[in-house]
Amino acid sequence: MSDSDEGDRADTVVVYDQGSTETPAEAVVAAVADVTGRSPLDLDPLYDAIDPDTLNTLFSTPAWASSVTVTFEYCEHRVTLTGEEVRVSSPGGPP
């Protein structure tokens, strides 16, 4: 996983490392932990925001992953997930 800031946008983007065994749900938790500066174990359960199984299912089938985008609220951030990356928008940032 590598971080990159995109110019003046207030988003943090985490790009999946294709070689890692990290699941999409784990990538979301790690990205939000990064942005908020909190431990993954202190964040509210992801399950309270979205079913992690559903996320993993959506993005584990290549034919679906290439065309699916999921956006949801988690820990007061807007999280957008595609087959390649996790985008975390800071509170008050662009919708």
Distance of CA 57 to the CA centre of its chain: 15
Q: Pick from 19, 63, 10: which is nearest to 2 by CA?
A: 19
- Residue of 3, 38, 47, 84 interacting with another protein (CB under 8 A): 47
Residue found by looking up tokens 């490392």 in the block: 17
Is 64 a binding residue for another protein by CB under 8 A? The answer is no
45 binds another protein (CB under 8 A): yes
Give dist(CA 45, CA 52) in Å, integer.
Answer: 10
Report d(CA 57, CA 36) in Å as an integer: 26
Smallest gap from residue 32 Cβ to another protein (A) = 10
Minimum CB–partner distance for residue 7 and another protein (Å): 31
Pick from 48, 67, 94, 95: which binds another protein (CB under 8 A)?
48
Nearer CB in complex with another protein: 46/81: 46
Say what the alpha-carbon torsion angle 49, 51, 56, 57 is, to the nearest 10 degrees: -140
Which residues here bind another protein, judged by CB under 8 A? Answer: 25-26, 29, 40-41, 43, 45-48, 51-53
